[in-house]
Amino acid sequence: MAEHALTTWESQDLRDRILERLLDAEGDWVSGAELSAITGVSRTAVWKHIQTLEELGFTVEAVRHRGYRLTHVPDIVLEPLLRRRLPAGCALGRRVLYAPVIGSTNATLAHLAQSPALPHGTVLAAGTQTGGRGRRGRSWFSPDTGLWFSVLIRRQIPLSRAAEITLLASVAVRRAILRQTDAPVQIKWPNDLLMDERKVCGILAELRADGEEVQHVVLGIGINANVPHEAFPDELANIATSILAASGRPVHRTQLAADVLRELEPMVEALAMGGAGFAAVIDEWRSACHTLGRDIRVQTPGGLVEGFAIDISPDGRLLVRTHTGERLSIPSGEVLF
Amino acid sequence: MLKIGEIRELIRLLDETNLSEIRIETDDMKLHLKKPEPRVAEVAPSQVMIPVSSPASVSMPAVPAPAQAATEAPTPAQTSANAPTPAAEDAGNYHLVKSPMVGTFYRAPAPDAPPYVEVGSRVTEKTVVCIVEAMKLMNEIEAEVSGEVVEILAENGQLVEYGQPLFKIKLA
């Protein structure tokens, strides 16, 4: 597939530099000659990138002898738009690739990550995923009203602590959502986010290790941001929701993505520095947890476990007391609704 | 001057005998053919390779080696002293891929997808052979060696422990 070659993404750099200049002008005119000089391509090539921006949802006014100016900016995760919302020096999100339609951001970023040239913090975002994936190959409904992105984490993290990343991500996403809404957001072990007891965000990471150390992690985050309630297919209607549906108000998706990255950055750095990872936010996770303190059923590799969810361990295991009084520490499984 | 065919003949001669080099000098030419290393050296690489790949995840299967040695013992000693004994070769020629973490062992990327590898699959260092999952972190396990999968030691969908052997790979 063409999207799997890093070179096919390179023209985004020129488009983003043009967009950067137009955004800097804050609605004022920028001449074609200047855009041509900045990018080092012909004015005809500049015009083609302007057309690409319009296809992505921007409105660009073009007038002979004056140049171009932006009159509408869409809420999509392009590098210049995301970076404006990130703190200076934030490594996560310093490079952003965007595809209006893609198979799966995780699959494509995992493939691109085979090139060591792709830096730590690279984000691949998509408008729509045609083959969005959940756990164990389950499909993930990904219409163009959601927020679908993957982050490349290329830091020296011991493999024994890598699983903390998905737990930390759940805390980061929850904080990011709460910056835009007052509606409660809960966490279902290990890292699903719920609003109104329905899934609003899924997190799935793919890892490659080098011996006992992480080579890279592709962290996939799918948030049903502004998906209208009626858009969910029947089989999801009772188990999925969106921030829009649960809170009644749409969210700014690029801001949401920036807030997730801003929250996640220090957590990942702490892991890389050997500091407290999940342990540092475990109380926050506990207080937001939907799973703890109630009778639950967990599908585990060893079979169905029924019991009372007591706690989570600092390395993320779910501690369950079964009805027969046995205490189990579950590293892998799925809590059934 | 020697013809190409004659030089080829000399190379064959060198190859098939115990000679280590041949020098020929005539008025119009000099020819010097030399074997890179004595044959003994060929034994070394396969034995040296064992601990190199990843000390933590390599083990030498103890059982097959003596068994092999026993069956080979009665046969006449036709191998030269330089060649590896079959027993030593056998022990060193396998690599065990072990689970680097506690989690669920999956042989395929999805339930309806074909397994990453089967018995008989050829693998290289970077070939993904399975996934071990914990807390929705999918750890794609690489073979770490080149060779052929000869045994699958864990059950799909089962919990595996840290250090548990998952695959036995015969080194190429």
Least confident of A168-172, A293-297, B13-17, B155-159: B13-17
Confidence of residue A232 (pLDDT cuts 50, 70, 90): very high
Contact B140/A212, CB-based, under 8 Å?
A: no
d(CA A21, CA A2) in angstroms, rounded, equals 28
Confidence of residue B18 (pLDDT cuts 50, 70, 90): low
Average pLDDT over residues A221-233: 96
**B138-168 exposure pattern, b = at least 16 Cβ within 10 A, e = fewer:** bbbbbbbbbbebeebebeeeebbeeebbbbb
Does A289 or B45 have the greater pLDDT score?
A289
Cis-peptide into A331, omega within 30 deg? no
Answer whether residue B64 shows pLDDT above 90.
no
Answer whether residue B40 shows pLDDT above 50.
no
Write the pLDDT tens digit of every residue in A61-93: 999 999 999 999 999 999 999 999 999 999 999
Confidence of residue B77 (pLDDT cuts 50, 70, 90): very low
> A258: distance to nearest CA of chain B, Å?
22
Answer whether residue A269 shows pLDDT above 60.
yes
In the block, tokens 């799997």 appear at A4
Instruction: Give the pLDDT score at B13.
Output: 62
Answer whether residue A16 shows pLDDT above 90.
yes
Q: Which amino acid does the sequence have at B105?
A: F
Domain boundaries, given as residue ranges, for chain A: 2-72, 79-288, 295-336
d(CA A167, CA A180) in angstroms, rounded, equals 21
Average pLDDT over residues A96-121: 94
Q: What percent of chain B has pLDDT over 90?
A: 43
Q: Look up residue B68 and give its two tokens.
A: 């092999």
Nearest to B136 among A160, A204, A302 (CB): A204
Instruction: Give the pLDDT score at B62.
Output: 36
**Helices A11-24 and A32-39, interaxial angle, to 10°?**
130
> A145: distance to nearest CA of chain B, Å?
24
Q: Give the distance from CA A123 to its chain's centroid.
A: 8
Residue A158 has what DSSP assignment?
B
Which candidate, A169, A167, A216, A185, places its Cα nearest to that of A314?
Answer: A167
Instruction: Give the pLDDT score at B30.
Output: 74
Burial class (CB in 10 A: 0-12, 13-18, 19+), B35: middle
Q: Which amino acid does the sequence have at A331?
A: P
Which residue, among A161, A332, A334, would best test binding to B if mutated, counting the most B CBs under 10 Å from its CB? A332
Contacts with B56 from chain A: Cβ below 8 Å: 211-212
Q: Look at strands A186-188 and B122-123 and give their pairing.
A: unpaired
In the block, tokens 């290790």 appear at A209
May I ask the CATH class of domain A2-72? mainly alpha
**A239-262 exposure pattern, b = at least 16 Cβ within 10 A, e = fewer:** ebbbbbbbbeebbbbbbbbbbbbb
Domain boundaries, given as residue ranges, for chain B: 4-53, 92-171
Instruction: Give the pLDDT score at B92.
Output: 74
Answer whether residue A183 shows pLDDT above 90.
yes
The alpha-carbon radius of gyration of chain A (Å, integer) is 21
Q: Which amino acid does the sequence have at B99?
A: S
Instruction: Give the pLDDT score at A135.
Output: 80
Answer whether residue A22 shows pLDDT above 90.
yes
Nearest to B134 among A163, A212, A217 (CB): A163
Answer whether residue B79 shows pLDDT above 80.
no
Best CATH choice for the domain A79-288 from the list 3.40.47.10, 1.10.357.10, 3.30.930.10, 3.90.550.10:
3.30.930.10
> B47: distance to nearest CA of chain A, Å?
21
ipTM higher than the 0.85 cut: yes
Best CATH choice for the domain B92-171 from the list 2.40.50.100, 2.40.10.350, 3.40.190.10, 3.40.50.11290:
2.40.50.100
Instruction: Give the pLDDT score at B48.
Output: 29
d(CA A295, CA A322) in angstroms, rounded, equals 9
Answer whether residue B132 shows pLDDT above 60.
yes
Same fold, A2-72 and A79-288: no
Strand residues in chain A grouped as ranges (E): 59-63, 67-72, 96-102, 123-129, 147-153, 186-188, 192-195, 198-210, 213-223, 295-300, 303-312, 318-322, 327-330, 334-335
Write the pLDDT tens digit of every residue in B81-111: 444 444 444 557 999 999 999 999 999 988 8
Q: What percent of chain A has pLDDT over 90?
A: 88
Residue A275 has what DSSP assignment?
-
Does B22 or B42 have the greater pLDDT score?
B22
Instruction: Give the pLDDT score at B9.
Output: 67
Instruction: Give the pLDDT score at B87.
Output: 46
Q: Which amino acid does the sequence have at B30?
A: K
Average pLDDT over residues B115-126: 96
Answer whether residue A282 shows pLDDT above 80.
yes
Instruction: Give the pLDDT score at B4.
Output: 65
May I ask the CATH class of domain A295-336? mainly beta
B163 close to A (CB below 8 A): no
- Closest chain A CA to residue B158: A301
Percentages of chain B per state (helix, strand, coil), in multiples of 5: 25, 30, 45
Average pLDDT over residues B51-80: 36
- Cβ pair B49, B58 in contact under 8 A: no
pTM, entire model: 0.80
Answer whether residue A196 shows pLDDT above 50.
yes
Average pLDDT over residues A1-19: 78
